[in-house]
Amino acid sequence: MNKQVLLQDLGTKDYKETWDYQELLFQQTLDLKIRNRREETQRPTPNHFLFVEHPHVFTLGKSGDLTNLLIDEQQLKEKRATFYNINRGGDITYHGPGQIVGYPILDLDNFFTDIHKYLRLLEEMVILTLADYGLKAERSKGETGVWLDVGTPFARKICAMGVRASRWVTMHGFALNVNADLGYFDLMIPCGIKDKAVTSLNVELGKREVDMDEVKQKLLKHFEMLFEASILKDKEGV
């Protein structure tokens, strides 16, 4: 099993352009798996991990409700935001500057074939990272993602998640609010959940700005430990 994961930090990149690149890597891995099965070969399948920061964008998952977006097309333009229907699970999500978005494109045959476990480990990666900053983050029963003050009137979400998988190959991933403009979350009903707030790491720490690269390094450290993987930097990118 190949537990090496190629890391690419794409910087700031358009959502659709990044989605197309995800689809390319995803399809290449699927095609290799299919060829291996057809030709009875064992060529190792790759694993990828993309970091990216998107311009303002709202995305709606397959099971989402468009009424959870609270602004119209003209207002989207005024906010310099875009909107996409996409093929992950979950409802509506916002991405934007100050948010670390991670897209692991993994062949889970290299790790474990369990989507539930995969999601829980991604959550644990974020929970451990936030603990490094002195925050007690948790899961909220029945709600994918990472939260603070679960079970209280002050419950608030700090990291959203949504994945797609085919033949145990994953795409999409997580969005961790680090220095996010929380005003954009008021333009939707986040993940279709009406009664809980959204927060960002800098708000919780009482800081104007948190070092994004430092947070990425902590996420990768915990990812390597939880997935028993080795992160390798891929210099090619897109």
Structural domain includes residue 238? no
Separation between Cα atoms, residue 186 and residue 196, nearest integer Å: 12
pTM of this structure:
0.92
Does 114 fall in a domain? yes
Q: Is residue 107 part of a domain?
A: yes
**Which residues carry out catalysis?**
191
Q: pLDDT band at 4, cuts 50/70/90?
A: very high
Q: What's the number of domains the chain is made of?
A: 1
Is residue 182 in a domain?
Answer: yes
**Structural domain that includes position 204:** 4-233
> Where would I find the beta strands (DSSP E) of 16-166?
48-53, 57-60, 82-85, 92-95, 99-105, 137-140, 143-148, 156-166
Lowest mean pLDDT among 17-21, 44-48, 70-74, 198-202: 70-74
- Residues with Cβ within 8 Å of 230's Cβ and at least 6 positions away in sequence, in order, are 3, 4, 5, 224
9 domain-assigned:
yes
Report the Cα 157 to chain-centroid distance in Å: 14
Q: Is the pLDDT of residue 193 over 70?
A: no
Average pLDDT estimate for 4-17: 96
The CATH number for 122's domain is 3.30.930.10
Residue 51 lies in a domain: yes
